[in-house]
Amino acid sequence: MVVFKVSRVQTSPFDGQKPGTSGLRKKVKVFVQPNYLHNFVQATFNALTAEKVRGATLVVSGDGRYFSKDAIQIITKMAAANGVRRVWVGQNGLLSTPAVSCVIRERVGPDGSKATGAFILTASHNPGGPHEDFGIKYNMENGGPAPEGITDKIYKNTTTITEYLIAEDLPDVDISALGVTNFTGPEGPFDVEVFDSATDYVKLMKSIFDFESIRKLLTSPKFSFCYDALHGVAGAYAKRIFVDELGAQENSLLNCVPKEDFGGGHPDPNLTYAKELVARMGLGNSETQGEPPEFGAAADGDADRNMILGKRFFVTPSDSVAIIAANAVEAIPYFSAGLKGVARSMPTSAALDVAAKHLNLKFFEVPTGWKFFGNLMDAGLCSICGEESFGTGSDHIREKDGIWAVLAWLSILAYKNKDKLQDKLVTVEDIVRNHWATYGRHYYTRYDYENVDAGAAKELMAYLVKLQSSLPEVNKIVKGVRSDVSNVVNADEFEYKDPVDGSISSHQGIRYLFEDGSRLIFRLSGTGSEGATIRLYIEQYEKDPSKTGRLSHEALAPLVDVALKLSKMQEYTGRSAPTVIT
Ligand code: G16
């Protein structure tokens, strides 16, 4: 048995190790600097209470992006030196973000051990490779991202750090082979267990959904299916779930081999970046070969995001969560006893609010960041939640869950088509249009201005806050741009008081709220790795069923005009068009 020693290595702080919306995300070239990752990991250990480190079980894995394998070895050696009892690693270092959450909550080791936390190695939807992004975040015992209290402590520790602990002579562990490797350190045994990345997650999915009814749908000649993992970690689950368990054709999987650089693509499941799927589904400009499938979906790098498509039809994430919530009790066994409540992030459209009101459900509006849903779920207040940023999930874990969302949609389709698979199929588009007919439609779009000069972005935001002090001034500008747009009746910066622990999160986005329920929201993204990304969210509610069938960009054109002029977008950023429209 290998006996290792603990070294104390002198170090000094790096600037800017502040976790963003979801962990620390930087270019690989930043992360590979000597001591950079080490400092952040030690700062995290130092921010946790002793029992979460000494003698604890930690999960260390991620989406398999470039630098993950090195990072896993470094973190393992630091965990050993800090007195951690065992480290669990998914085979080849792969675990999707939702699977990590599941493993923390559900997995019991051969000796009865359970994990108390995880380092997740991902920069989510950001590209990977030597010149692209890496990321790391810490998740807590409930399976969810560390709350602000902890991430603030981590950041503070990074600014004062002077040394870290590492077991330099601990040999690298072969993370491609399943099994346990045992070591001994100054304080006793330390083990590394490499386990199958999918087993625990597949088991959990089977306990939530009716796999038999989904299988019937997926194997019906009436139905066709396509799933694009964009070469992210979802590929490690897609074949096991969709093909092996549910009977989908193997050729219905696109880009399902996880790659360190995501095949050179941008692993962000939206209409801009999921090009191959979008073309196959008959959307976009390219000519489709043959008849598009009835259902398509994509995931991001770490498989917590999802995009849902029907044949030649895009489902907005805001509609998706509302539709899942409205159908969950009938279509998904896990929810058959009813929903505890629902929640959305502030910039997500109010489609969920309307459904919650009709269904008499508790409803919560939280700031952007999945961590805010966790408290509600732990307190038993929320069953289903979602975000405009292609995140949807439930209280089965404490992260958003891309494959769960696909299974939720397949369950709804299976339910709507039960006993009818011989007749005309009820399609994704039918389900969405029926939802609009019942609840009204929230026309919605998001404009992203990526990699804008950080100073200019700050100035634009400061200008918008200042402008809020005079609504007459705001309305003068609005009417000057479009007289057919209703009045702004309220404008503020979103602040959230957590109903469970009373904590307050301020400056969570600038809102302009219109008399007819329309909203314009401006936020700076917290997940970029360079410059600033300005997000502009535009929403308009249409209750009249005869007017819910318009093209979204036509319906929203007046509000877009108003938003761009009101914010002086071009003046501040020099950009005449957004980088991405979703
Ligand atoms: C993270 C958060 C989400 C958030 C998204 C975008 O997701 O978990 O709650 O909506 O970032 O945040 P921002 O608008 O600040 O860029 P992910 O998938 O990137 O981990």
Choose the final residue of a domain: 439, 458, 473. Answer: 439
| The pLDDT of residue 478 | 87
- List all residues 6 or more positions away from 314 whose beta carbon is below 8 Å from its beta carbon: 271, 283, 307
Kindly give the distance from the C-alpha atom of residue 21 to the centroid of ligand 1, in angstroms, as a whole number. 6
In this structure, the answer to whether residues 103 and 24 fall within a common structural domain is yes
What's the CA dihedral at 20, 394, 542, 448 to 10 degrees? 20
Angle at CA 421, nearest 5°, toward 416 and 425?
A: 65
CA distance 535 to 449: 6
CATH number of the domain residue 475 falls in: 3.30.310.50
Position in ligand 1 atom list of the atom nearest CA 137: 20
How many residues are listed for the chain in this entry? 582
Query: Which of 22, 68, 101, 124 is the catalytic position?
Result: 124
Q: Which of 194, 178, 182 is nearest to 89 (CA)?
A: 194
Ligand 1 contact via 582 beta carbon (within 6 Å): no
pTM for this entry: 0.93
Nearest protein Cα to ligand 1, atom 14: 525
- Which of these three, 439, 470, 499, is where a domain ends? 439
Ligand 1 probe mutation, 25, 100, 302, 368, most atoms within 8 A of CB: 368
The pLDDT score that the predictor gives to residue 288 is 62
pLDDT tens per residue across all 582 residues of the chain = 668 999 999 999 999 999 987 899 999 999 999 999 999 999 999 999 999 999 999 999 999 999 999 999 999 999 999 999 999 999 999 999 999 999 999 999 888 999 999 999 999 999 999 999 999 999 999 999 998 889 999 999 999 999 999 999 999 999 999 999 999 999 899 999 999 999 999 999 999 999 999 999 999 999 999 999 999 999 999 999 999 999 999 999 999 999 999 999 999 999 989 999 999 999 976 666 689 999 999 999 999 999 999 999 999 999 999 999 999 999 999 999 999 999 999 999 999 999 999 999 999 999 998 989 999 999 999 999 999 999 999 999 999 999 999 999 999 999 999 977 667 899 999 999 999 999 999 999 999 999 999 999 999 999 999 989 899 998 999 898 898 889 999 999 999 999 998 989 999 999 999 998 899 999 999 877 678 999 999 999 998 888 888 989 999 999 999 999 999 999 999 999 999 898
**Do 409 and 457 have their domain in common?**
no
Q: How far is the CA of 289 from the centre of ligand 1 (A)?
A: 34
Same domain for 459 and 434? no
Q: Per-residue b/e over 180-200, b at no fewer than 16 CB within 10 Å?
A: ebebebeeeebbbbbbebbeb
Please tell me whether residues 91 and 9 are part of one structural domain: yes
Q: Say how many Å lie between the CA of residue 427 and the centre of ligand 1.
A: 30
- Determine the atom of ligand 1 nearest the C-alpha atom of 400: 8
Asked if residue 389 has its Cβ within 6 Å of ligand 1, the reply is: yes
What pLDDT was estimated at residue 419? 79
Q: What is the CATH number of the domain that holds 432?
A: 3.40.120.10
For the CA of 372, the nearest atom of ligand 1: 9
Q: What is the count of structural domains for the chain?
A: 3
User: What does the alpha-carbon distance between residue 186 and residue 165 come to, in Å, rounded to a whole number?
Assistant: 13
For ligand 1, what atom is nearest to the CA of residue 305?
Answer: 18
Q: What are phi and psi of 191, to 5 degrees?
A: -125, 150
241 and 388 in a single domain? The answer is yes
DSSP codes, 187-215: TEEEEEEEE-SSHHHHHHHHHHS-HHHHH
Residue numbers of the domain that contains 231: 201-439
Q: Say whether 360 sits in a helix, a strand or coil.
A: coil
Q: In whole angstroms, what is the distance from residue 30 CA to residue 223 CA?
A: 47
Residue with tokens 């917590």: 304
Which candidate, 204, 280, 274, 281, places its Cα nearest to that of 245?
204
Nearest CA among 423, 384, 382 for reference residue 405: 384
Cα 369 to ligand 1 centroid, rounded to whole Å: 6
270 and 351 part of one domain: yes
User: Which one, of 490, 473, 582, lies nearest residue 125 by Cα?
Assistant: 582
- Do residue 171 and residue 36 come from a single domain? yes
Ligand 1 mean position, distance from CA 156 (Å): 22
What is the pLDDT, as a whole number, of residue 333?
98
Q: What is the pLDDT of residue 483?
A: 87
Residue 124 Cβ contacting ligand 1 at under 6 Å:
yes
Q: What is the pLDDT of residue 287?
A: 63
Q: 96 CB under 6 A from ligand 1?
A: no
Q: What angle do CA 82, 86, 88 make, to 5 degrees?
A: 120
- Indicate whether 434 and 448 sit together in one domain: no
Q: Which two tokens stand for residue 283?
A: 């959307």
Q: Show which of 376, 405, 439 is a domain's final residue.
A: 439
Whether residues 56 and 91 fall in one domain: yes
Instruction: Looking at the structure, tell me whether residues 150 and 269 fall in a common domain.
Output: no
DSSP 425: P
Q: Is 387 in the pocket of ligand 1 (CB under 6 A)?
A: yes
Same domain, 372 and 248: yes
**Nearest residue CA, atom 2 of ligand 1?**
369
The answer to whether residue 286 is catalytic is no
CB of 305 within 6 A of ligand 1: the answer is yes
CA distance 312 to 531: 35
- Cβ–Cβ under 8 Å, residues 234 and 255: no
Question: Could you tell me if 447 and 414 lie in one domain?
Answer: no
388 Cα to the center of ligand 1, angstroms: 10
- Strands 179-185 and 2-3 come out as parallel
